[in-house]
C-alpha cells in the first residue's frame, strides 16, 4: 500500500515492526505522512518463533516497498520487536539457540529464584516470564557469544555492524534506566553482562547503513537508529506523546498506556515505565476485554446487536467481565471473581452490560495510574477492534470525560519510523 498522488513527498524514515502475527514496514515523509506500507503475515504459529521466518518477512516487506518507492532519500531505519523475546547468537550473528518468546516462562526455577532474591522490588525483570530469566537460560547454551532481543537481531541482519539494543527492549532484561547501564546485580542472578549488547535510548543513531539495507537501495548516508518494543511503537504511531495523553487498546484484553512526565512504577499492579523520547510511558493490562464478549457472541450477532445499543440508558448491570477468576490491573488479585450475572433475557441488554463493565475497568485503570503519581488523563486515542463500535465509544466518552482524538495510525511500524523523525529534528 502506498500513498496516492504523483507529487507525494519523498520517504525519509523507515520503520520495521516484528509483531506476533508477522512483519510490517512503513516509510514516512518528513512530516510524518505515510508514503508506503507493506506487510508479510507469518504463515503459521511456528513461524512467529522462527528467526528465519522473521527475517524472511522483513526482507519481503522491504523488497515490496523498494519496488514501489525510491529509498535513496531514506535517512534512517529503526526496528521494533515483541517485548522480552530473546535469542542466543554466535559472534557472526547466527542463531545458536531457539528463540524464547515474550510469553515463554523460564523453565529453570533456580534462575527465577535468584532473580527474586537479587532484583529490586519494582524491577520488571522479576517473575517466571521475565526476559532476564530467559536471557540467563540462553546464555548457558553452547556457542552463545551474545544474547539479543528480537529487534536487535533484525537490525544485525540488515547490516548493523555489531549488536546493540535500546533501553525499551532492555528494560525487562534488567537494564537500569536511572543509571543507564546494566546493573551489577545481574551477575548475582547468573547473567554474564558481557553477553548483553550495549544500550542506547530509543531513536538514538547507532551506525551507518550497510549490508542488505544498502542492497535494497538505501543510501550510504542513512543510519540505523535504536528501536523500541512493539508496545511503545504502537503508542507512538497514534500521535500521542504529551503528558496526559492516553491510548487504550480494545482487543482480546484491555490495555491502557499513559504518557507521563515522570516514571510510574508499581510492581504490585504490573506497572512499569518506559522512557520514550521526552516522556515516560506507563500502563497496565486487564484480563478483561473482547475475549469475554467472544464467549457469548459471534461476529454476526455483534453486528446485529450493536445498532440497538442505548448508551444514554445505562442497564444498571454491575458486571466485571472476566473469562475466569483472576485480575492483574487495575486491581491485582489472582482470585478476583468474574461477575456476569444476572443475565437478562434480552441479549442487547447483556451485551451493553458487558461493555459498561469494560468501560468502568478502563476508567479505573487511568484513575489508578493517577493515584500512583501519573498525570490526569487529558485526551484519549483508541486502537483495536473495539474502537469501531460507536455506541461503546459514546459510553466511554461519557465515563472518561476527555476529548477522544483520532489515532494517526495503528501500525507499530509507523511508530518505529517516528523515532527516526524525532531524532531528525534534534540539533546536530
Element (H, E) at 167: helix 167-170
Strands 165-166 and 199-200: parallel
pLDDT in tens, 351-391: 999 999 999 999 999 999 999 999 999 999 999 888 899 99
Q: What pLDDT shows up at residue 427? A: 57
pLDDT in tens, 195-214: 999 999 999 999 999 889 99
CA distance 263 to 275: 8
Is the pLDDT at 81 greater than 50? The verdict is: yes
Residues 6+ apart with CB under 8 A from 388: none
Q: Tell me whether the CATH fold assigned to 13-231+412-424 matches the one assigned to 240-400.
A: yes
Share of the chain above pLDDT 70, in %: 98
Is the pLDDT at 308 greater than 50? The verdict is: yes
Cell of 76: 534512517
**What's the CATH architecture for 13-231+412-424?**
2-Layer Sandwich (3.30)
Determine the CATH number of domain 240-400.
Answer: 3.30.420.40
In the chain the first and final C-alpha atoms are separated, in Å, by: 33
CB 355 within 8 A of CB 395: yes
DSSP helix/strand/coil, 209:
coil
- CA angle, 210 as apex, 205 and 214 as ends, to 5°? 115
DSSP helix/strand/coil, 62:
helix
User: Which of 284, 362, 283 has its CA nearest to residue 321?
Assistant: 362
pTM over 0.75: yes
| Beta partners for residue 258, in sequence order | 246, 282
Is the pLDDT at 289 greater than 90? The verdict is: yes
Is the pLDDT at 181 greater than 60? The verdict is: yes
CA distance 135 to 146: 10
CB 136 within 8 A of CB 190: yes
Say how many C-beta atoms besides its own lie within 10 A of residue 59's C-beta: 18
Share of the chain above pLDDT 90, in %: 87
User: Which of 56, 40, 150 has its CA nearest to residue 99?
Assistant: 150
Would you kindly state where each structural domain of the chain is located, as residue ranges?
13-231+412-424, 240-400
5 pLDDT band, cuts 50/70/90, is very low
Amino acid at each position: 500500500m502506498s500513498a496516492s498522488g504523483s507529487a507525494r513527498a519523498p520517504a525519509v524514515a523507515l520503520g520495521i515492526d516484528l509483531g506476533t502475527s508477522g512483519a510490517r514496514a512503513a516509510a514516512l515523509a518528513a512530516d510524518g505522512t505515510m508514503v508506503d506500507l507493506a506487510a508479510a503475515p507469518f504463515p503459521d504459529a511456528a513461524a512467529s518463533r522462527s528467526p528465519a521466518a522473521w527475517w524472511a518477512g522483513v526482507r519481503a516487506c522491504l523488497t515490496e516497498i523498494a519496488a514501489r518507492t525510491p529509498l535513496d532519500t531514506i535517512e534512517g531505519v529503526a526496528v521494533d520487536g515483541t517485548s522480552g523475546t530473546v535469542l542466543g547468537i554466535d559472534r557472526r550473528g547466527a542463531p545458536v539457540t531457539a528463540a524464547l518468546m515474550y510469553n515463554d516462562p523460564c523453565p529453570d526455577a533456580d534462575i527465577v529464584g535468584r532473580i527474586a532474591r537479587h532484583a529490586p522490588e519494582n524491577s520488571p525483570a522479576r517473575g517466571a516470564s521475565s526476559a532476564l530469566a530467559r536471557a540467563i537460560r540462553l546464555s548457558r547454551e553452547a556457542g552463545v557469544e551474545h544474547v539479543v532481543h528480537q529487534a536487535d537481531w533484525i537490525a544485525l541482519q540488515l547490516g548493523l555492524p555489531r549488536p546493540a539494543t535500546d533501553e525499551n527492549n532492555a528494560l525487562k532484561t534488567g537494564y537500569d534506566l536511572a543509571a543507564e547501564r546494566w546493573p551489577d546485580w545481574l551477575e548475582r542472578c547468573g547473567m554474564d553482562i558481557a553477553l548483553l549488547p550495549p544500550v542506547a535510548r530509543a531513536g538514538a543513531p547507532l551506525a551507518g547503513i550497510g549490508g542488505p539495507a544498502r542492497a535494497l537501495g538505501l543510501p550510504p548516508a542513512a543510519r540505523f537508529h535504536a528501536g523500541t518494543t512493539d508496545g511503545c511503537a504502537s503508542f507512538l504511531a497514534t500521535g500521542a506523546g504529551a503528558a496526559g495523553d492516553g491510548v487504550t487498546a480494545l482487543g482480546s484484553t484491555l490495555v491502557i498506556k499513559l504518557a507521563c512526565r515522570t516514571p510510574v512504577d508499581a510492581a504490585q499492579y504490573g506497572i512499569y515505565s518506559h522512557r520514550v523520547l521526552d516522556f515516560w510511558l506507563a500502563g497496565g493490562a486487564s484480563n478483561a476485554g473482547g475475549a469475554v464478549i467472544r464467549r457469548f457472541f459471534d461476529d454476526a450477532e455483534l453486528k446485529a446487536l450493536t445498532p440497538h445499543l442505548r448508551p444514554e440508558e445505562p442497564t444498571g448491570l454491575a458486571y466485571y467481565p472476566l473469562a475466569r477468576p483472576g485480575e492483574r490491573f487495575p486491581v491485582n488479585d489472582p482470585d478476583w471473581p468474574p461477575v456476569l450475572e444476572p443475565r437478562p433475557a434480552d441479549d442487547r441488554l447483556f451485551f451493553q452490560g458487558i461493555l459498561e463493565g469494560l468501560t468502568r475497568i478502563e476508567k479505573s485503570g487511568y484513575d489508578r495510574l493517577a493515584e500512583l503519581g501519573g498525570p490526569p488523563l487529558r485526551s484519549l486515542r483508541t486502537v483495536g477492534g473495539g474502537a469501531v463500535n460507536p455506541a461503546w465509544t459514546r459510553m466511554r466518552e461519557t465515563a472518561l470525560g476527555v476529548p477522544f482524538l483520532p489515532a494517526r495510525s495503528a501500525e507499530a511500524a509507523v511508530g518505529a519510523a517516528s523515532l527516526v523523525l524525532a531524532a531528525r529534528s534534534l540539533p546536530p
